[in-house]
Structures are given as C-alpha cells and as structure tokens.
Amino acid sequence: MPDSIQLRARTAELTRQKRRRRRQGNLCFFAAGIGFGTTIYLLRAHFTQVMMSDKRILLGGLVAFVCSLVWLGASGESDIRRMEEELREIEQQRQQR
C-alpha cells in the first residue's frame, strides 16, 4: 500500500513539473519568436544603419540571445519527454500491481 501512495505522489509531482516546464518552454519559444522578428525587422528596414555602425554588436547579441532562448525551449521539451516516459513507467508499475 505505501508503494501505491508513493507512486501516486511521484505521478502528481511529475505532472506538476511537466506543466511548469511546458509553460517555461512555451514562454522561451514565444520570446525567441519576438526576438527573431525584431532581428528580421532591423535587418530589412535598417540594414545600412545597423551594419555600418557599432550596432552590429547589439545585433549579434540579439541573435545570441534568441539562440539561447530557442536552446532553453528545446531543452525544456526534452525534459518533458523524459518526464512523460517516467510517467508511462509509473503507470505500468501501477497496472502490474
């Protein structure tokens, strides 16, 4: 019986973590989309101003920031897949009992 309670507690905890991680990942992808759109706008509308001044460094920083946001979102999705696999294993254990 205690194992069943532990499995339920672990399931609840993983479900909470999965929801929170999904929200974080979605927020990262959303922010990356805004940053990517801003980058495209700056390059299309102000190419000469950006490339011929010291603002190239800022543009490079924006691109690096966007890349890091995409990486964070992707790592969150990877964590979610791992949690879902663990939830499936727990469900199999509960069905075997």
Containing structural domain, residue 43: 2-96
Which pLDDT score is estimated for 12? Answer: 94
Instruction: Report the share of the chain in percent with pLDDT over 90.
Output: 69
| Mean pLDDT of the 45-57 span | 86
Which pLDDT score is estimated for 1? Answer: 47
Task: Quote the mean pLDDT of the chain.
Answer: 92
Instruction: Judge whether 12 and 18 are in contact, CB under 8 Å.
Output: no
Q: Total structural domains in the chain?
A: 1
Helices of type H across 1-97: 2-45, 47-51, 55-96
| Mean pLDDT of the 1-6 span | 73
Considering only residues 83 and 96, tell me which one the structure prediction assigns the higher pLDDT: 83
Residue 17 has pLDDT above 90, yes or no: yes
| Mean pLDDT of the 78-82 span | 96
